[in-house]
Amino acid sequence: MSRALSRLLKATLLIAAACVSTHALSAPYSDCSAALPLSVNLPSVSVPANLAVGQTIPGATASFAIPVNCTVNPGADWYMTTSPTAAITLVAGFSDVYTTSGMGAGVGFRMRNAAGVVMAPISYAGATGTYDMGASKLGANVIQGTFELVKTGTVATGSFGFSDYAHVPSKEYANGGAASKSMLSFNYTVLNNSVASCSVTTTNVAVSMPYTNTSAFKGIGTTASATHFDLGLQCDPNAKPAVSFTDSASISNQTNTLTLAPGSTAAGVGVQLLYQNVPVTFGSASYSYTTSSTPTTTGVALGTLSGVQNIPFQARYIQTAASVTPGLVKAIATFTMNYN
């Protein structure tokens, strides 16, 4: 890079479409506390008329990040085990979609870990009905993942769900020394309607942002070089879509600033996306739960749409540290469409 360019930033933003038995532990250990029991709810699941078997149901994703504090080191992994005893089984014809007692017909689920990787259930207490959620430790812990629904056939309407309890086997319960106090329930309601939807006509959008001098930044929170881009859609008549964005470089990011992706050489800056001049809040799912059964939602409603649409957005730099180091800025977001 020449001396003249050494103080400039160049960014490419790539946006890709993504369209338990209560097993008694050996002792009622109660050295951990958490905001449990808690329900992870998908309150209004509408299945698009043209949704193919095998696809994730739009809007039917919920992330959870449950803080757990332990006054001792449990010394093993956190488990989520179905309650009462029920096996989690692979849905026929799928390699990563599961079902269990309490779920309605035509729907399976995936459970992803904090990194977004689909987990397979493991055997515990005589049944394959447990998820290994990672290592426990003294002090602050987080039991984190994402629950999503997948269409596996003709979808039954109604309210369904199942429950897990969080524990370190033979060591600790997540809350209050009891399985009943350590429950994490997964619930969903499939509505008796088939909603209009949109297909994405621009599945990958490369936003080339301009070279920008570091002098354009005057302090943390200042922005520069807003750049227009469109998301292309083909919508059924009177579709009511919303779009949600996930930070691909940091899936758990729930701020309004994308982190720098691998390959970036600049520092002290991030990238924001804006819709109607308002920064978008990122999230790994349509609903996010932490300490309450009331979720945080991140979808951006796009109104009522029909036919071919080009939805206008902007990307811009934002200063995130006291000083800005010049270089290449790369940020990657994934978007999903949801419907009302």
- Cis check for the bond before 279: say yes or no (omega within 30 of 0): no
pLDDT in tens, 49-75: 888 999 999 889 999 999 999 999 999
Token representation of residue 260: 């720098």
Token representation of residue 38: 């808690």
Q: Which residues of 132-141 are buried (b: 16+ CB within 10 A; e: fewer)?
A: bbbebeeeeb
- Confidence at residue 305, expressed as pLDDT on a 0 to 100 scale: 93
**What average pLDDT does the chain have?**
88
Work out the angle at residue 96's Cα, subtended by the Cα atoms of residues 93 and 98, and round it to the nearest 5 degrees.
80
Looking at residue 55, what DSSP letter applies? S
Say which CATH topology domain 8-16+203-339 has: Immunoglobulin-like (2.60.40)
207-211: list long-range contacts, CB under 8 Å, 24+ apart. 207/11, 207/12, 207/13, 207/14, 207/15, 207/315, 208/11, 208/12, 209/10, 209/11, 209/12, 209/13, 209/271, 209/315, 209/316, 209/317, 209/329, 210/10, 211/5, 211/8, 211/9, 211/10
Place of tokens 């447990």: 130
Say which CATH topology domain 20-190 has: Immunoglobulin-like (2.60.40)
Domains 8-16+203-339 and 20-190 share a fold: yes
Distance from C-alpha of 187 to C-alpha of 153, rounded to nearest angstrom: 19
Residue-range domain boundaries for the chain: 8-16+203-339, 20-190
pLDDT in tens, 300-331: 899 999 999 999 999 999 999 999 999 999 99
Token representation of residue 71: 């006054």
- Print pLDDT tens along the chain (340 aa): 333 323 344 444 544 433 333 334 444 578 999 999 999 999 888 888 888 999 999 889 999 999 999 999 999 999 999 988 789 999 999 999 999 999 999 999 999 998 889 999 999 988 999 999 999 999 999 999 999 999 999 999 999 999 999 999 999 999 999 999 999 999 999 987 677 888 888 878 889 999 999 999 999 999 999 999 999 999 989 988 888 888 888 887 889 999 999 999 999 999 999 999 999 998 878 888 999 998 888 778 999 999 999 999 999 999 999 999 999 999 999 888 888 7
